[in-house]
Amino acid sequence: MNCPCANRPLSPPPRPQQGVALVVALLVFTICASVLVALQRDFDLSYRRGLNSFVAEQSWAYLRGAEELAALALTLDYEADLAAEIPRDDLREIWAQQATPYALDEGGWMYGSLADLQGRFNLNSLGAQPTTGTIPYSPAQQTFIRLLQALDSTEVDEFTAAAITDAVADWIDSDDEPRLNGAESAFYVSLQPSYRPGNRPMVSVSELQAVSGVTPAIYQALKSLVTVWPQVPAGINIHTAPQPVLRALNGNDILQPLSVADGQSLIQQREETGFANLEEFLQLEVFAGAQLSGVASLLTESSSYFLLASRVEIADREQRLYSVLRREAREIDVLQRINASLYDMPSLPPLESLP
C-alpha cells in the first residue's frame, strides 16, 4: 500500500545567505546609529563652543565699553578741575561715586567702579635708602611700618612690621645684600620649593605673598591698601586714602601709627568738611607737636592712576576685567588689563546686593 505523501517533493533547506544578510543589515544599522550619535555629539560641542566664543566676545566688547565710560568720567573730572579754584581729586567727584548695575539690551548686567590707586601706599617706594633721621628707615619705610600696625583685621607688632619692611625693600632693590631684618637669595633658595627674590620693582601686589614674613592673614588685610602703580612712586592722595593709610601718617622717626580714634576723626572730618589743602591737613590736631617733613614729602592732593574693576554677566556667564588707567590731562591710557581669574584682586559685590 502506497502512502499519498510519499511522492511529495521535500522542501529545500534554508539557505545560509539569508542569515548573513540579516547580520550585515544589523551591522549597517549599528554603524549608522554610531555615526549619527557621533555627529550629534560633535554638533553639540561645536554649538556650545561657538556660543561660548560669541558670549566671550560680546562680554569683552562690553568690558572695553566700561573702560571707555571710565575714561569719559576721568576726562570730565579733569575738565571740572580746570574750572575749580583749587583743583584736586577727592571722593565727591563723579569718578568716585558708587556705581550701579547697567541693564544690557540683550539681557544681563554690566557693572564697573573706579578706585584711586594713589590713595594707596606704593610698595615700590620702599627700595630707597634712608638719607636722614635717627633710625635706619626712609619716610616711606616708616610709613609702611606704621601701616602694617594699623591693619584692621590682623595684629602686627612693631618688630614684625619692621622685618617685613626690610624684606620688601630687599625684594625690590637690585643688590643681594640683606638688610638688618630682611631677606635675599640665600634665604629664599633655602625654602621648599626654592625661588629667588625679584630684585626689581614689583609689578603686582600679589608678589607680597612670596616675601618673607608676609602671612596669608597679613596679605589679605594689606592687599587693598597698597599698589605698585605708578612704577616710579607718586604721592599718596590725602583726599582718597582709606583710614589705615591715614593712620600710617605720623611724625618723623615715629614708628607707631595714629590711634584708631585719630584715624576715625580724620575720616569724619574729611566726610563732613573735607581737607582744605595739604598744609591745613598737616596742621590738624592729631599731628600736634610732630615733625612732619618726612611724611609731607609723600603726600599729594591729585591723582593720575586709577583701577577700574568691571564685570559683565550675559547668558548666566560672568566675566571680569581689572584695568589700570593713567590720566595725563585729557589723555587716558590703559596700562594693564588683568583677567580676574589670573589675578588676586578684591571681589566685586554680587549684583543682587547692589541698589
Write b or e for each residue in 52-82: b if 16 or more Cβ atoms lie within 10 A of its Cβ, otherwise e. Answer: eeebeebbeebbeebbebbbebbbebbeeee
Q: What is the enclosing helix (H) or strand (E) of 52?
A: helix 17-83
pLDDT digits (tens, 9 = 90+) for 61-106: 999 999 999 999 999 999 999 998 888 999 999 999 988 888 888 7
Residue 77 is assigned to a structural domain of this protein: yes
In this structure, the answer to whether residues 239 and 339 fall within a common structural domain is no
What's the mean pLDDT in 259-277?
96
**To the nearest whole number, what is the mean pLDDT of the chain?**
88
Residue 187 is assigned to a structural domain of this protein: yes
Q: In total, how many domains does the chain have?
A: 2
Region of poorest pLDDT, from 129-133, 182-186, 247-251, 336-340: 129-133
What's the whole-model pTM score?
0.84
Q: How far apart are CA 122 and CA 235, in angstroms?
A: 9
Range of the domain at 327: 50-117+304-353
In this structure, the answer to whether residues 220 and 72 fall within a common structural domain is no
Does residue 286 sit in helix, strand or coil? helix
pLDDT level of residue 40 (50, 70, 90 thresholds):
confident
Residue 293 is assigned to a structural domain of this protein: yes
Decide if pLDDT at 322 tops 90. yes
- What's 275's domain CATH number? 1.10.40.60
The residues, ordered by sequence, that sit 6+ positions from 189 with a Cβ below 8 Å of its Cβ are 195, 196
In this structure, the answer to whether residues 295 and 167 fall within a common structural domain is yes
**What is the rounded radius of gyration, in angstroms, for the C-alpha atoms of the chain?**
33
Task: Determine what percent of the chain is predicted with pLDDT higher than 70.
Answer: 89
Could you tell me where the DSSP H helices lie in 84-206? 139-149, 158-172, 185-188
In this structure, the answer to whether residues 283 and 192 fall within a common structural domain is yes
In this structure, the answer to whether residues 294 and 310 fall within a common structural domain is no
Q: For residue 41, what pLDDT is reported? A: 78
pLDDT level of residue 283 (50, 70, 90 thresholds):
very high
In this structure, the answer to whether residues 64 and 99 fall within a common structural domain is yes
Task: Give me the helix-helix angle, 139-149 and 158-172, nearest 10°.
Answer: 130
pLDDT digits (tens, 9 = 90+) for 107-161: 889 989 999 999 999 999 998 877 666 788 999 999 999 999 999 999 999 999 9
Decide if pLDDT at 3 tops 60. no
